[in-house]
């Protein structure tokens, strides 16, 4: 079931952590790690509920947080045998450094955005046409073919930035399919047919992204030992079957 | 709004517009009477001359445009080193290719793509009947929309405009980088 | 030639060219030293501001360009349909700010700071010509080093890279080992 809840989108795990730190009004240098970890994991759960793809970076951070949490729970070692006092390294130190470094650039990005917005309010003018510009000499069409016109246009568009090109391609839609969706699709196909070949999983019109996602989800399904893959000879058909 | 500010806005409007801008458009944008606008612009013309500014306001009929001064022609011409290489497409062909692929399109849009003014190129193309006016946009200045003609199809041996070489190759390259 | 006349010619050159024009081109066209040209243009920038002219001279690196003033944006928008291009995404802005402050920098270093992959953001920035490859690191894989472009300065209204807003001083936070 899908919820119609707007979940704030974060740029990555660091961004999410900064948000949690802000929300809890805690000191970045003294993060209450178990509280923040709990909220962090809650957020990932919400993402799951909403069918949002959770990237490996978010998962990796979850693991890091849990590791820090467990280290913090360990009783502090006392080197009783030694006279020298060894300063304990705070397990949070690396993370705090990363967060602070990231925060600086996040703030700088906001300042840059303000500048960009101001600058976008300026208007410039195109260059004037000048008689001396010999490119404006008479138009001779005798040796010009339609292909030349095409090339000229391509060159102009390449010379230009992306905004102008966008006009051409707005009708081209990107296939939006996540690895999870793709995995479900493959499982469904395999439940219907016992064996499929790799190429049967898409048709001629499938986009490159679609094919790549399909391939990645096959790898994932293999890793999870849901499917088995067989190839009889090099470059031969790849057969996919359900493992059970 | 004080007069100084109105003058400033008028200068900005003439600067960005580039083409002749009518008194009607100027006065309605700023929200003053045509008469007031007329008087203020006349003031500006005198000031520009008195201060020996690098640009002047030229008037014809009820339209105004910014331009450089004839006596600076010699200096300005030094900006353009004549390009002799044959490989370069000329302005008219560039303009024609843009119109062919993006029609209907206004002059301002073509200039935004080329980065250079296109009045002469458009006149050449209109003269040769390769392009024509196909309509007008319903906004300030009612800019003309250009499209290609039957003569264009004939000249390039096309049965219809759909026969233009597809842009697919180009978009495929660029698509990768589009968010 | 008197200073007034030189200013007039410079204005005419900037107006005609439309695009950024280098100090070198300006001084060589007029036949004065770069230093003189520099001083005169700085004078002009002040005069344009003092007289509340409708246009201003913007500078980045050693290039100059005429533009309208941000406060006139609202009026000029009435002439044009507003620019449709969207601003940069947060991901792209974050990546750009890291590159701006830490250039030259590799993708891996950027990703280490942001904690996420940056391929898409990098492609967008390359595509918009805000960053470019400035070299390669002499180590395994010879990773690309990225830096900002002139287009970046222009789009963000910076005269040079030294004009970037200062990164928040972290000594306040009093944390050791932050470089």
Task: Sort residue B36 into left (φ over 0), alpha (ψ -120 to 50) or beta.
Answer: alpha
Q: What are the φ and ψ backbone dihedral angles of B4, each rounded to 5 degrees?
A: -60, -45
Instruction: Let me know if residue B81 belongs to a domain.
Output: no
Structure confidence by residue, pLDDT tens digits, B44-85: 999 999 999 999 999 988 999 999 999 998 898 888 765 444
Q: Which residue(s) pair with B105 in the sheet?
A: B146
For B:13-32, CB contacts with A below 8 A are: 15-16, 18
Q: Which of B76, B106, B130 is the last residue of a domain?
A: B76
C103 touches chain A (CB under 8 A): no
Does the distance separating the beta carbons of A129 and B91 come in below 8 Å? yes
Pair C62, C109 in one domain: no
Pair C155, C122 in one domain: yes
For B:135-154, CB contacts with A below 8 A are: none
Q: In terms of Cα–Cα distance, which of A164, A167, B173, B178 is closest to C124? A: B178
Chain centroid to Cα C18, Å, comes to: 16
What percentage of chain C exceeds 90 in pLDDT?
A: 65
Pair C132, C166 in one domain: yes
User: Does the pTM of the predicted model rise above 0.90?
Assistant: no
pLDDT tens-place values along chain A, 244 residues long: 444 445 677 888 999 999 999 999 999 988 999 999 999 999 988 888 877 777 888 888 998 999 998 888 877 655 555 555 556 788 888 999 999 999 999 999 999 998 888 888 888 888 887 655 544 456 667 777 778 778 778 777 776 653 433 333 333 334 456 778 888 888 888 888 888 887 777 766 666 667 777 777 887 788 788 888 777 666 667 778 887 6
Pair B95, B159 in one domain: yes
Pair C72, C94 in one domain: no
Q: Is C105 helix (H, G, I), strand (E, B) or coil?
A: strand
Q: Which of C76, C105, C133 is the last residue of a domain?
A: C76
Q: What is the per-residue pLDDT for A174?
A: 43
Q: What is the per-residue pLDDT for A2?
A: 45
Q: Output the six-digit token pair for C130.
A: 């805000």
The domain of C118 spans 90-178
Pair B112, B49 in one domain: no
Pair B98, B159 in one domain: yes
Specify whether the CB–CB gap between C119 and C32 falls below 8 A.
no
Contact residues for C30 (Cβ-Cβ < 8 A; gap 6+): B75, C1, C6, C9, C10, C37
Structure confidence by residue, pLDDT tens digits, C77-124: 888 755 556 678 889 999 999 999 999 999 999 999 999 989 999 999
Q: Output the six-digit token pair for C146.
A: 């990225």
Enumerate chain C positions whose Cβ falls within 8 A of a Cβ in B.
Answer: 4-5, 7-19, 21, 25, 29-30, 52-55, 66, 68-69, 72, 75-76, 78-81, 89, 120, 123-124, 126-127
Instruction: Let me know if residue B153 belongs to a domain.
Output: yes
Q: Which of B50, B76, B102 is the last residue of a domain?
A: B76
How many Å lie between the alpha carbon of B80 and the closest alpha carbon of chain C?
9
CATH of the domain at B13: 1.10.10.10
Does the distance separating the beta carbons of A147 and B120 come in below 8 Å? no
- DSSP H or E stretch at residue B12: helix B3-17
In chain B, the number of structural domains is: 2
Q: What is the per-residue pLDDT for A170?
A: 33
Structure confidence by residue, pLDDT tens digits, C14-51: 999 998 899 999 999 999 999 999 999 999 999 999 99
Q: Which residue(s) pair with B68 in the sheet?
A: B55
What single string gives the DSSP state of each residue in B147-179? EE-HHHHHHTT-SSGGGSPPSHHHHHHHHTT--
Q: What is the per-residue pLDDT for A167?
A: 36
Pair C41, C63 in one domain: yes
Which of C65, C157, C167 minimises the CB distance to A118? C157
Distance CA C177, CA A15 (A): 21
Specify whether the CB–CB gap between A195 and A232 falls below 8 A.
no
Structure confidence by residue, pLDDT tens digits, B85-138: 444 457 888 899 999 998 999 998 898 888 888 888 899 899 989 999 999 988
For A:39-58, CB contacts with B below 8 A are: none
ipTM for the complex?
Answer: 0.78
Distance CA B86, CA B88 (A): 5
A133 touches chain C (CB under 8 A): no
Query: Domains, chain A, ranges and CATH?
Result: 13-73+91-116 (no CATH), 179-242 (1.10.10.580)
Using the predicted structure, report yes or no on whether residue B168 has a pLDDT greater than 70. Answer: no
Instruction: Let me know if residue C133 belongs to a domain.
Output: yes
Pair B40, B98 in one domain: no
Pair B114, B37 in one domain: no
Pair C62, C121 in one domain: no
Over residues C125-133, the mean pLDDT reads 93
How many Å lie between the alpha carbon of A213 and the closest alpha carbon of chain C?
16
Can you list the alpha helix ranges (DSSP code H) found in B18-118? 23-30, 34-50, 73-77, 91-102, 107-114
């Amino acid at each position: 079931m899908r919820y119609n809840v707007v979940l704030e989108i974060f740029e990555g795990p660091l961004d999410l952590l900064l948000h949690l730190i802000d929300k809890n009004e805690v000191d970045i240098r003294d993060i209450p790690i178990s509280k923040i970890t709990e909220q962090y994991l809650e957020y990932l759960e919400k993402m799951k509920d909403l069918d949002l793809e959770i990237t490996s970076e978010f998962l990796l951070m979850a693991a890091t947080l849990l590791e820090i949490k467990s280290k913090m729970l360990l009783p502090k070692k006392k080197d009783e045998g030694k006279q020298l006092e060894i300063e304990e390294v705070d397990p949070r130190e690396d993370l705090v450094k990363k967060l602070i470094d990231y925060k600086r650039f996040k703030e700088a990005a906001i300042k840059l955005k303000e500048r960009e917005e101001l600058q976008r309010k300026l208007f410039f003018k195109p260059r004037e046409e000048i008689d001396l510009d010999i490119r404006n000499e008479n138009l001779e069409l005798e040796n010009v073919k339609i292909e030349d016109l095409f090339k000229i246009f391509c060159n102009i568009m390449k010379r230009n930035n992306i905004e102008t090109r966008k006009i051409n391609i707005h009708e081209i839609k990107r296939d939006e399919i996540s690895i999870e969706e793709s995995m479900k699709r493959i499982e469904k196909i395999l439940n219907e047919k016992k064996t499929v070949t790799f190429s049967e999983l898409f048709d001629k019109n499938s986009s490159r992204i679609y094919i790549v996602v399909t391939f990645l989800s096959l790898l994932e399904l293999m890793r999870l030992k849901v499917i088995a893959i067989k190839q009889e000879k090099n470059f031969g058909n790849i057969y996919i079957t359900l493992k059970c | 709004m004080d007069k100084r500010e109105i003058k400033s806005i008028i200068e900005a409007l003439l600067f960005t517009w580039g083409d002749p801008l009518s008194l009607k458009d100027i006065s309605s944008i700023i929200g003053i009477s045509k008469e007031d606008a007329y008087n203020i612009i006349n003031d500006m013309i005198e000031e520009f001359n008195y201060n020996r500014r690098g640009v002047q306001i030229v008037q014809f009929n009820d339209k105004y445009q910014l331009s450089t001064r004839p006596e600076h022609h010699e200096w300005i011409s030094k900006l353009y080193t004549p390009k002799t290489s044959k490989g370069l497409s000329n302005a008219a062909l560039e303009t024609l290719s843009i119109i062919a692929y993006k029609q209907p399109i206004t002059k301002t849009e073509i200039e935004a793509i080329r980065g250079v003014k296109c009045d002469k190129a458009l006149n050449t193309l209109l003269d040769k009947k390769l392009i024509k006016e196909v309509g007008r946009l319903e906004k300030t200045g009612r800019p003309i929309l250009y499209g290609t003609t039957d003569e264009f199809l004939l000249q390039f041996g096309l049965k219809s405009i759909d026969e233009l070489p597809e842009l697919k190759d180009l978009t495929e390259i660029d698509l990768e980088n589009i968010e």
